[in-house]
Chains A and B, each alone.
Chain A
Amino acid sequence: MQRLTRYFLVPQQCYRFITDWSPWLTGAFLLTLGYGLIAGLCFAPADYQQGDGFRIIYVHVPSALLAMGIYTIMTTTALISLVFRIKLATLVMQISAPIGASFTFLALITGSLWGKPMWGTWWIWDARLTSVLILFFLYLAFIAVRAAISDPWARDRIAAWMAIIGFINIPIIHYSVLWWNTLHQGATLTVFNPSIAPSMLYPLLSMIIAFALFYLILLCQRLCADILYQERKAAWVQEILHELT
């Protein structure tokens, strides 16, 4: 535990840890994405009601899960940043926002592409859809606030509070299909009793892992660059730059 803490609190250790693990993350991402795409598009049987249109699930569900998951990570790191003033937590919060926004955008677009043939409309002001749209605006507001405030201390604190307050939307998204009478279908994936056949489930799980790994890869790439910039005066950064040239 102490070793793990040291990895994430000492920038140099953190940088080394990330660069050591990055090729493995990329390999695992390509493997899971490849399996998910091939099995999902070619081998999973067509749904008895939605036909082959259901295959959008393989990009829609992972995008939606990541959209909510990344916001939860942002809220957690915001709390850590406010309470413990750990620079790394602030960085993770800041880097996660545009990635989370793009996953939310994907969830909305792929959901719309699924909705048109199934519901007959691209968009409806349904509780689930509207709460996800609000999540997208929360991400955009977070990015805009960070860009608008020049004082780093105030910027980080205000952004952290925004992330924490906005978290109220996450349970609303999750439970919206239960609390309101919505057009959106209920949860496909539950921990103990998934309402989906294994031949459809495994590619979906693989795609969810692939999307999560892609988030981690992007996070690591940006984190490495930002750590280098933050620690630019340190001797170890100069050594790395020397190695790179």
Chain B
Amino acid sequence: MNLHEFYTMGGYAAYVWPAFAVVLGIFGGQWILAKRHRRKIILKIKEVSCDKIIK
């Protein structure tokens, strides 16, 4: 397979590349959401701990 064939995917580029792009996009989104969720939980626990110390 040469570079041109790779890009055009034998005329199916309009279907093949969006399929892979949407998968990588969703994967990236899920990864970011999971990281954000963890950060949010840690901040939440820290806030509770700080409140207890202040009280």
Contact = CB atoms under 8 A, between A and B. Distances in A.
Contacts, number: 90
B34 to A, nearest CB: 4
B48 interface: yes
Interface residues of B, number: 29
Chain B contact residues: helix, strand, loop or mixed: helix
A56 B26 CA distance: 16
A52 B19 contact: no
A105 interface: yes
Given A218-B30, A218-B31, A46 B10 contact: yes
Interface of A: 37, 41-43, 46, 51-53, 55-56, 58-60, 63, 99, 102, 105-106, 109-110, 113-114, 116-117, 214, 218, 221-222, 224-226, 228-229, 232, 237-238, 241, 244-245
Interface of B: 1, 5-6, 9-12, 15-16, 18-20, 22-23, 26-27, 30-31, 34-35, 37-38, 41-42, 44-46, 48-49
